[in-house]
Amino acid sequence: MSQPLPYVDINPVSAATATVIWLHGLGDSGHGFAPIVPELQLPEDMAIRFVFPHAPERPVTINGGMRMRAWYDIKSMDFDKRADLGGVRESAELVEQLIEAEIAKGVPANRIILAGFSQGGVIALHLGTRYSKTLAGILALSTYLCEPALLANEASDANKHTPIQFGHGTHDDVVPAAMGQAAFQTLQDAGYQVSWKAYAMQHNVCMEEIHDISAWIQARLS
């Protein structure tokens, strides 16, 4: 598990001055969200590099033990036991290596956005609230928190004032909106700078959300 994560990257025309690291959902890969970059219609002069890592392959209990790309195992669909903490911590360490690699290339932490959908969002929230350097923003799409009770003892102050944007579908039957709202409330109660947007969609992204994500990225990195 200590091997660096492979990824798909989309580079700007000029040297990158900012990076978005975007984590996919269960059973997907870095290729899944890569096509969203042109749809975001970000100005070329923002020089944003996108990194879409592939999660490690592992057996997933709720899928009959089938091996697939997953940031962690899901042993139960129960509200409070869905994310396997050991796997979440392992994946968070691997994604932290990706952030550090971007910093080594010359992009400072405060010009890096950590984004994630579903399982990827769990990792983005887990790592983003514990990471020791201040990020530009955290984007949490159709997602939830792993073991929220641990946050108080494990959180770093570095991203206490970092904007965290939640987006969730009102008709999501995979990760019910209530799970996203519970994560939002936990972070808000802990003093984080969170915002919430709901969309008339299922467990996916829609054009309205893509437009909102584009505006949010531009506000964070302009």
Extended strands (E) in the chain: 7-10, 18-23, 48-53, 57-60, 66-69, 112-117, 137-141, 163-169, 193-199
Is 203 known to be catalytic? yes
118 is catalytic: yes
The residue behind tokens 């994630």 is 116
Known catalytic membership, residue 172: yes
Mind listing the pLDDT tens digit for each residue in 150-189? 999 999 999 999 999 999 999 999 999 999 999 999 999 9
CA separation for the pair 163, 143 (Å, rounded): 16
Helix 119-130 vs helix 177-189: crossing angle, to nearest 10: 0
Q: Which two tokens stand for residue 140?
A: 């949490």
Mean pLDDT (the chain, rounded) = 96
Looking at 118, 126, 142, 168, which residue is catalytic?
118
At 1, the pLDDT band (50, 70, 90 cuts) reads very low
Q: Summarize pLDDT for 47-85 with one digit per residue, the tens.
A: 999 999 999 999 999 999 999 999 999 998 877 778 899
Query: CA–CA separation, 180 vs 118, rounded Å?
Result: 10
